[in-house]
Homo-oligomer: A and B are copies of this chain.
């Protein structure tokens, strides 16, 4: 499947920036692969580092043909359309990519593989968001592990749970800590090369899928589990299988600086962070049936603020909660790792 030296072209037609671009930006930020280009004909000639404040310079081109000419071997579908299915207007580009010999990485709910039964040797279609075979219901076995298991939790969707988790994992490794990362979404799977597409797994097996990944890393000192959604979000059901599958010992709360309500609806006001933390911990311990996970830090997404505002926001939260608060992208994840390993 995906090899680490294969250059990627990220298909983001019409959406190189903005909310649906999360997948593409995550891949640019974290994939170890070379990235040949982004495809977005509405922004051809521009460049992603300046356009979206990303850490890599990636040119934007207008077509699959240009991407291929730049050496791209894999087409990554890099935006999330409403409904989570491949829009019909994408198919000409995908068809063209397959026709010229490119592989395709698809993180949407559709299965593209059946559409392309005749592939060249080495060419593949990876439908990341399909339930893997052989899953079992959870059995609660992760609670008997003796290592540290950190679940990234959030006040909303798309507040930085994957990013913060990857930064913690990276810094922990740099320090020589035996740390592993359990990806639970299509972006995390794409950039780490393995994991479970939690939202595409049948409910009966969702906790068991998390449990199997966590047990796989029983020897690690620290297992960082990518969080999904939020306990206070009406569309999100992921935190129960995450809490019961992983039985985290530690939690880090992810939040966007200054965000007052859920992105979904202004009427859904985000409660005080202390209450959100308490809710996660109460669900985790389930009236004392299980050990209570401990929230040890806040990872604050300050992307939309100035450096001064970011520092002030972190200090305010530290004063409110009495635990460290940093933006791991802006400030580094050292204090988060300190808090988890303390």
Q: Does A176 reach chain B (CB closer than 8 Å)? A: no
A241 to B239, CA, bound (A): 10
A199 in contact with B207 given A244-B235, A268-B289, A279-B286 (CB within 8 Å): no
Task: Evaluate whether A131 and B202 lie within 8 angstroms (CB atoms) in the complex, with A234-B244, A236-B244 already known.
Answer: yes
Interface SS majority for chain A: loop
Contact between A139 and B237, CB atoms less than 8 A apart: no
Residue from A204, A269, A270, A290 having most chain B Cβ neighbours under 10 A: A204
Q: Which of A206, A237, A275 has the largest count of B CB atoms less than 10 A from its CB? A: A237
**Complex Cα gap A270–B286 (Å):** 10
Residues of A164-210 at the interface with B, using a CB-CB cut-off of 8 Å, are 198-204, 206-208
Q: Is the CB of B276 within 8 A of A287?
A: yes
A72 to chain B, nearest CB (A): 29
Interface residues of A in 225-239 (CB under 8 A from B): 231-239
A137 within 8 A of B: yes
B283 touching A206, Cβ below 8 Å:
no
A253-296 near B? 1/0 per residue, CB < 8 Å:
00000000000110011111001101100110011111000000
A140 to B234, CA, bound (A): 5
Give the number of times this chain occurs in the complex, counting copies: 2
A330 to chain B, nearest CB (A): 28
Q: Which of A210-249 contact B (CB under 8 A)?
A: 231-241, 244, 247
Contact B235 A137 (CB under 8 A): yes
Chain B residues with Cβ under 8 A from A289's Cβ?
232, 268-271
How many whole Å from A305's CB to the nearest CB in chain B? 24
The answer to the question of A151 belonging to the interface, with a C-beta cut-off of 8 Å to chain B, is no
A203-B198, A238-B203 known; A287+B275 contact, CB < 8 A = yes
Cβ contact within 8 Å between A139 and B282: no
Contact B200 A234 (CB under 8 A): no
CB-CB contacts below 8 Å: A65-110 with B: 83-84, 109
Are the C-beta atoms of A202 and B204 separated by less than 8 Å?
no
Residues of B contacting A206 in the complex (Cβ-Cβ under 8 angstroms): 203, 237
Contact of A138 with B by CB under 8 A: yes
Instruction: Tell me whether A143 is interfacial, beta carbon within 8 Å.
Output: yes
B264 touching A235 by the CB < 8 A rule? no
The verdict on A42 contacting chain B, using a C-beta distance below 8 Å, is no
Q: A199 touching B202 by the CB < 8 A rule?
A: yes
- In angstroms, Cα B138 to Cα A41, docked, is 33
A204 surroundings in chain B (CB, below 8 A): 84, 109, 199-200
Q: A136 at interface (Cβ–Cβ under 8 A)?
A: yes
With CB as the reference atom, state the residue of chain B lying closest to A141. Answer: B234
Bound-state Cα–Cα, A236 to B200, Å: 17
- In the complex the two chains form, what is the Cα distance from A286 to B207 in whole Å? 21
Most buried by B among A138, A241, A287: A287
A-B contact pairs, 17 of them (CB 8 A): A84-B137, A109-B204, A137-B235, A140-B268, A200-B202, A200-B204, A201-B203, A203-B206, A203-B238, A237-B240, A237-B241, A240-B240, A268-B289, A269-B289, A271-B286, A271-B289, A279-B286
Among all A-B residue pairs, the 7 with the closest Cβ atoms: A140-B234, A199-B204, A271-B287, A237-B241, A275-B287, A232-B286, A240-B240
